[in-house]
Every structure is written in structure tokens, then in C-alpha cells.
Structure 1
Amino acid sequence: MNTITATNYNFPGQQSVYKGKVREVYTINNDLLVMIATDRLSAFDVVMPKGIPFKGQILNQIATKMMKATEDLVPNWLIATPDPNVAVGHLCEPFKVEMVIRGYLSGHAAREYKAGKRILCGVPMPEGMKENDKFPEPIITPSTKADNGAHDEDITRSEILSENIVSEEDYLVLEEYTYKLFQRGTEIAAEQGLILVDTKYEFGKTKDGKIVLIDEIHTPDSSRYFYVDGYEERQENNEPQKQLSKEFVRQWLISNGFQGKEGQQIPEMTDSYIISVSERYIELYEKITGEKFQKAEVSNVEERIKDNVLTYLK
């Protein structure tokens, strides 16, 4: 059960550390970012008390693989991956919005639809849809990028522009990149017998003003996948879709009375449940990438990461 749930490094040239829900980002010499994917598990914007073995490695390796598979379409921040849990890239100023794109009526969109809403983030959703139906065209439903511990909130395109969170010129680029990435992600998923249902992208600006893709991409934490096989049949029979995402964690939490709301207690995650979640993440990795997962050496994860990052920075 060796996991890494927090880091406290002091690398040469280190200027600051940002600790997100899952990743910890070290700024080096006002030039590089060293992003460490921990084994923390976040659901409903709440970090669970225990880490999931190999989760950070899985997220980092899927994200870096997908960055390389899309760099011909959209520039990204990535320079190197000196450790299974680490990505090193260009220092960027992140945009304060997450570009959520949905091809299907699932998750948050489905919950809003069931509640009678037909407009999500200013975007109309057609009448007569049922959960997990495909939208006529993918829709972008942005959210605010919350600071530590706060909930991301739905926001409309017009609010983003009127509140000057992003300039119109930049926002047009974010939209174009989001559609392009989702199309490529859909094609990559189809090769593995999967449907990319919805996902989110984050972008930043490099010091020379270039807009680039940052953070993670097409991972089970940021994306939802269905299996192509049996999708139509399940829709016709009003059955739940077989999916690859961390939705299984959310559903387990909901069934145990937790949705991140005030006053709710996080249910106890037993060791056997933690191991089952780890196994699900490994299954997700293998299905999404089509490759066998190679477990990294975890007898001392913190030392391994430190040594690999120091070697790289030299």
C-alpha cells in the first residue's frame, strides 16, 4: 500500500509550490514547472483521506502519452517525463477556466437535465434526450477553475467574456483547440473500442504569449469513456452504460451517503476497497492506452521521485 499523498521537496532553483487536488507543481528558476501526480483521489471536489496505489503513475503516463499523440494539433507545455509520476514543462500562466466538452448527455449534464434544465452553461440541450444519448454536436460547457478546496462552478461563454476572465481573442483559440483535441481523443478512443463521452482541457500561456495545453488530458480523472460494444443495445433497453472513468468512485460515495455537501462524512475506505480502486485504475490504463501497465518501484516513492527529478535538473 505504498502511496505518495503529499510531497515536500526543495529542488535547486525552486521558487514556489502549488498544491492542487491531485497534483503538486514546483516552479523552478521562473522557467520550468515540475508537476508531480500524487496518489490522492478527489471526488466531488473533495480529497479522500487515503491514496490509491499507482494512481499518480497511471494519470501521469496516460496524460503524457495523450499530449504526445495530440502535439501535432495543439501545442502543449510538456518537455520531459523524468519519473513515472513526474512531468516537466514550460512555466505557464493558467487560464481561470476549464474547457469542458461533452459529446453525450452524461454525468453532471444528465443530472441537470433530469432536474428539468435545458440550458447548461448557456448552451441549449435538445428536448427528448435520455441519459447517455449522443448530442447532435459536441457542446462546450466551461467551468471556473477553483482554488484549493473550492468547487468548480458552471459558467457561460458570455460571462467569461463580459467578466474579462479570458479575452475574446484568446477564448476563440481555446474553443478551437478544445474541439480539435476532442475530435482526436474520440478517434484514439475508437481505436480501443471506446467512446470518449466527455472531458475537460486546461490551457495556459507561456512567457512568450503562446497558448498551450497544460495539466492532464484524456485520463479517467478528467474524462468519461463508454465501451462501444453494446452501447446502442444498452441505450435501447434503458440500461446503464458500461463506463471507464472514476464515476464508479462517485457512485460508491453516493451509495454511502456522500456527495461532498456540507455536514456529510466521507465513508471509510477499507484496504480491500482501496486495492479494488487501484485495480480499476490499472484496467482503465490498459484499456485506454492498449498497453500493459508496468508498475513502478514503490518501496520508497518519495526518494525515487526526488532522485529522478534532481538528475533531470542537473
Structure 2
Amino acid sequence: MSEKNQDFQQALANRLTDAAYPELPEHYQGKVRDAYDLPDGRRIMVATDRQSAFDRILAAVPHKGQVLNQTARFWFEKTADICPNHVLSFPDPNVVIGRKLTMLPIEMVVRDYMTGSTETSIWPMYKRGERTLYGHDFPEGLSKNHKLRETILTPTTKAAQGDHDAPITAAEIVEQGILTKDVWDELARLSLALFARGREIAAQHGLILVDTKYEFGVDDQGRITLADEIHTPDSSRYWIAETYQDRMAQGLEPESLDKEFLRLWVSERCDPYKDDIPDIPDETLEIFSEKYINLFERVTGETFKRESFDQPLRDRIRENLAKILPEYF
């Protein structure tokens, strides 16, 4: 076995799938992150290696949680002048401690391209013959992966875990009293400004930021605050700019550095909303893991520091949490 293969086998064995620490209070397990709410208003979020898509867990991907957390850290720092965020500290490569927020019940999705493979993506809707999507009118004759005439917002409702997010229009959000018009207008302004910053920085590194989603909450002073993650390969699509035109001319999918790779792999083999997900081979997980690491390194200009195999990831995280929260450990 080559050294590279041996390292990947070790990484497979060291994946973080369970981040439940009974010492900490108010545990909540999401699809990807485990969270804890402390009495003093702080929220601990641990990014695991669980990989979700189609509203279900598909696999566990080596290095994935660290990539997510550290990519989000880069973008939180690069956009702090646009919108306040929840971040207080990063005590571990897989952990962020933030302010607990009152979360707003809408996910803000921003799109620059006609693409996607999930039920809430605009390409499957358009392909079915729909021409008014999220309150936007689209002309005939559009094709997959082409740039839209303008950047659009396509918000969705937030579903409970295991349920599906649902498309909704800006007008419906206000009419149904989900958000006031002033709050919607501010979320729209912030989302477009964040996306513009992301698109600009991505382009400087040879990447196309295709689309993304943002989640916002309100802090105890009533300020709208960015939460969860930002511009990660889980929450965004990224394409490699230098090969985009050639691949489009050949009728190929763009080279992606995001979870669309795994979505397409699954969709080619089953109906991910109805069928059992087939086992994903280790070789496919390795390709996927390297895409995430490549994305991190391209965006940040930093070399990704892979975890040591001296101890399980779960134990390292526990040690680092105990250093800053000794009263719980």
C-alpha cells in the first residue's frame, strides 16, 4: 500500500461521526453539526464528517468537518464588515463557539447560474416546464449551467430535520407574516452583498461562486446576525473558472469543488428521495475529500493542515473543549 493510500485509510478510520459529549448541556444533533447551548448564551458547534444531501446522511467523509469549519472561519472574517456574525472563538479545527441567536425561519439562497439537482434547485423546476420560479419569470430556451441575466434570491422555508425545505417567494414571506417587509428587505440586502464579496474573492482565486445559502438570526440586541456557515462547499457551489467554457462547449458538467459531485454520483444510481442510498466506495469518498481540501486551499491561499492520527478526532476535540470549559469537564 502506498503512503498516500495508507494515510487515507487512517483518515477513514479516524472520521468523526459522533460528537455527543455528555458533559455538555442541551445537546442537539443536526445533519452535519452537533450543537450545545450553554446557560451563558454561548453555542458550541462541532462540525463532524457526516455528509448530508437530499435531506439525509449519505456518508462520512475524511477531513470534511475541519474543511467546513476552517473555510467558514475564513469567510466570516472576510465579510465581518458587511454583516455581524455569531462567531466568538475557534477552540479546535472542528469547533466554533458562537452567540446563541433567535434564528429566522427562512434560508436565503442566492443564485447566479441555472443549475442544481435537488428539489428546490431552479434547473430541475425549469426542466419540468416551470417558468415562474420563486417569483422570478424565466424565458424559454435556457440550458443547464448557464449564467443568469442577473443574480436572484430564491428563499426556502426551513424544514424540521428529515423533512424537505420548500420554495417560497419574497411576497409570500411578507404576506404570510413569516418576516416583516423591513426584515426581508434587510436580509435581501445583506445576502446580495455577502454573495458579491464571495464572488469577487472566489474569482481572484480562479473560482466561480455559483450559488449559496445563508442563515440569519437575531441577537439579544435585536441585530440581524449571520450564523451557521458561509461559503463552504456544503452550502455553496463552486466551479473552476479556467475549464468552465471548454466543458460547457463539450456538453460536460463544470468541474466542481463542492458537494454537487456526490449529489450527481448518487442521482445517477438511484432516486435519492425515494430509494436507499447505495454504498459509496472509498475511492469516491477520497476524490470527494480532496475536492473539499482543494477548495479550502484555493479560497484561502493556505495549506490545509490534516489532522494527526496520534489520537481519535473525538478525543482531541474533547481535550480542546475541556481547556476552555473546565467547569464542564
TM-score bracket relative to the smaller structure: over 0.9
Q: Deviations over 1:179-202 (max 9, x none)?
A: 000000001100110111100000
- CA 149–30 in structure 1, closer or farther in 2 if over 3 Å, else same: farther
- Residue number in structure 2 paired with 1:273: 284
Q: Distance in 2 between matches of 1:173 and 1:311?
A: 38
What is the CA distance between 1:118 and its match in structure 2?
A: 1.4
Q: Distance in 1 between matches of 2:172 and 2:255?
A: 35
What is the CA distance between 1:11 and its match in structure 2?
A: 4.3
- Establish whether residue 3 from structure 1 lines up as the match of residue 15 from structure 2: yes
- Residue number in structure 1 paired with 2:301: 290
**Residue number among 41, 60, 65 corresponding to 1:31 in the alignment:** 41
Q: Deviations over 1:146-167 (max 9, x none)?
A: 1111111111112211222222
- Establish whether residue 134 from structure 1 lines up as the match of residue 143 from structure 2: no
Written as runs of structure 1 = structure 2, the 5 A alignment for 1:3-22 is 3-11=15-23, 14=25, 16-22=26-32
- Residue number in structure 1 paired with 2:165: 152
- Establish whether residue 42 from structure 1 lines up as the match of residue 49 from structure 2: no
- Residue number in structure 1 paired with 2:71: 62
Segments of structure 2 that go 5 or more residues without pairing to the other structure are 1-11
- Residue number in structure 1 paired with 2:197: 184
CA RMSD of aligned residues (A): 1.6
Q: Deviations over 1:269-298 (max 9, x none)?
A: 233333333223222222332322111235
Contact residue 32 and residue 48 of structure 2 kept, 8 A: yes
> Which secondary structure does the structure 1 equivalent of 2:165 belong to?
coil
> Which secondary structure does the structure 2 equivalent of 1:230 belong to?
helix
Contact residue 33 and residue 46 of structure 2 kept, 8 A: yes
What is the CA distance between 1:56 and its match in structure 2?
A: 0.4
- CA 236–122 in structure 1, closer or farther in 2 if over 3 Å, else same: same
Q: Deviations over 1:200-221 (max 9, x none)?
A: 0000011111110001111111
Q: AA paired with 1:94? A: M
- Establish whether residue 211 from structure 1 lines up as the match of residue 224 from structure 2: yes
**Which TM-score applies when normalising by structure 1?**
0.93
What is the CA distance between 1:132 and its match in structure 2?
A: 1.4
Which 4+ runs in 1 deviate beyond 4 A? none
Contact residue 55 and residue 161 of structure 2 kept, 8 A: no
Segments of structure 1 that go 5 or more residues without pairing to the other structure are none
> Which secondary structure does the structure 2 equivalent of 1:268 belong to?
coil
- CA 11–161 in structure 1, closer or farther in 2 if over 3 Å, else same: farther
- Residue number in structure 2 paired with 1:86: 95
Q: AA paired with 1:293? A: F
- Residue number in structure 1 paired with 2:84: 75
Q: Distance in 2 between matches of 1:230 and 1:148?
A: 37
Contact residue 258 and residue 291 of structure 2 kept, 8 A: no
Count of residues paired in the alignment: 309
Contact residue 100 and residue 142 of structure 1 kept, 8 A: yes
Q: Distance in 2 between matches of 1:306 and 1:163?
A: 44
Q: Distance in 2 between matches of 1:279 and 1:105?
A: 26
**Residue number among 241, 249, 254 corresponding to 2:262 in the alignment:** 249
What is the CA distance between 1:254 and its match in structure 2?
A: 1.1
Q: AA paired with 1:121? A: Y
- Residue number in structure 1 paired with 2:314: 302
Contact residue 258 and residue 267 of structure 1 kept, 8 A: no
Moved more, 228-237 or 215-224: 228-237
- Residue number in structure 2 paired with 1:100: 109
Contact residue 206 and residue 242 of structure 2 kept, 8 A: yes
Q: Deviations over 1:74-109 (max 9, x none)?
A: 111111100000001111011111000001111121
